[in-house]
Amino acid sequence: MKGGSIFVRGRLLPLFVWIFGLLLVWEGTSWMLLHVVETPLAQSKLPYVHEVLATLWQYGGTLLKEGAATFGNAGVGFLIGAVAGASLAVLMSLSKTIEQLTFPYAIASQMIPILGLAPIIYGIVRDEQTSRIIISGYITFFPVALNMLRGLRSVDPSALELMHSYAAKPWAVYWKLRFPAALPGLFGGLKIAAPLAVTGAILVELMGAQHGIGVIMLRNLYYGSSHTYMFWSTVIVGALLGIVSYWLISLIERLVTPWQPEYRPKGGSR
């Protein structure tokens, strides 16, 4: 009874209704395209859900293996980009000169389309694994740096004055005041960057890598309508990798910053 109550009152019931409704609409629209409208290549445009699920089950081992290759490389790039972005944010918060020298270039770097940058990096490095790590790190770098810099500067001025009145050393101000204040901003940037890092890794794989979910996706796209269900399966696996990466960062945030209002037991009081 208690479990049923949690199911009804919590988020599981609305989530279940939404997912079931979406799948029902998808299945019905697919049937209409194929049998009522008789759209050419209807299954390529919107295949039956049950066929895609059957393909996911049948080739689950292959998709899991290739997805793990993508996720692993994206994860390494994500960690490198996050450390680089957080380090730059700290340096910019310490020195206006460093901020003026680096921040405009960091913004300018984001003007380069990833779709154009990925083949350039791949052509220079000529290594699929390194290219995926570089692109994932590049995508992660900027949102982490920007959001952490905002967090470092969001400290209450009165708290800062109090620390200075006690002659606190700069490292103590950062360790006890600025870093805790920056954590929500840091995790905000990480949650933005994590799914993008996975997308960046898949994009590099489309350039001609040997392993990864993007490779399977590209091959089945070339094979045409006969491999429609496998192509859609790779798309779903790619989306799931992005969702998992977001959930992982959210879980770590919940564990590291339990004092945030949304993580408190009653939503307000500590």
Least confident of 104-113, 193-202, 213-222: 104-113
pLDDT score at 6: 55
pLDDT score at 9: 58
d(CA 117, CA 199): 14
Does position 269 have pLDDT exceeding 70, yes or no? no
pLDDT, mean of residues 229-251? 94
Helix, strand, coil percentages, rounded to 5, for the chain: 85, 0, 15
Where do the DSSP E strands lie in 92-205?
A: none
From the list 97, 252, 85, the residue with the least C-alpha distance to 152 is 85
Does position 160 have pLDDT exceeding 90, yes or no? no
Domains of the chain (ranges; CATH) run 1-43 (no CATH), 47-262 (1.10.3720.10)
pLDDT, mean of residues 13-18? 84
pLDDT score at 5: 56
Global pTM value: 0.84
The answer to whether 118 and 214 are in contact (CB under 8 A) is no
d(CA 133, CA 108): 21
Q: What is the pLDDT of residues 52-65, one digit of tens each?
A: 999 999 999 999 99
From the list 141, 140, 247, the residue with the least C-alpha distance to 199 is 140
- Which helix (H) or strand (E) segment holds residue 133: the answer is helix 128-152
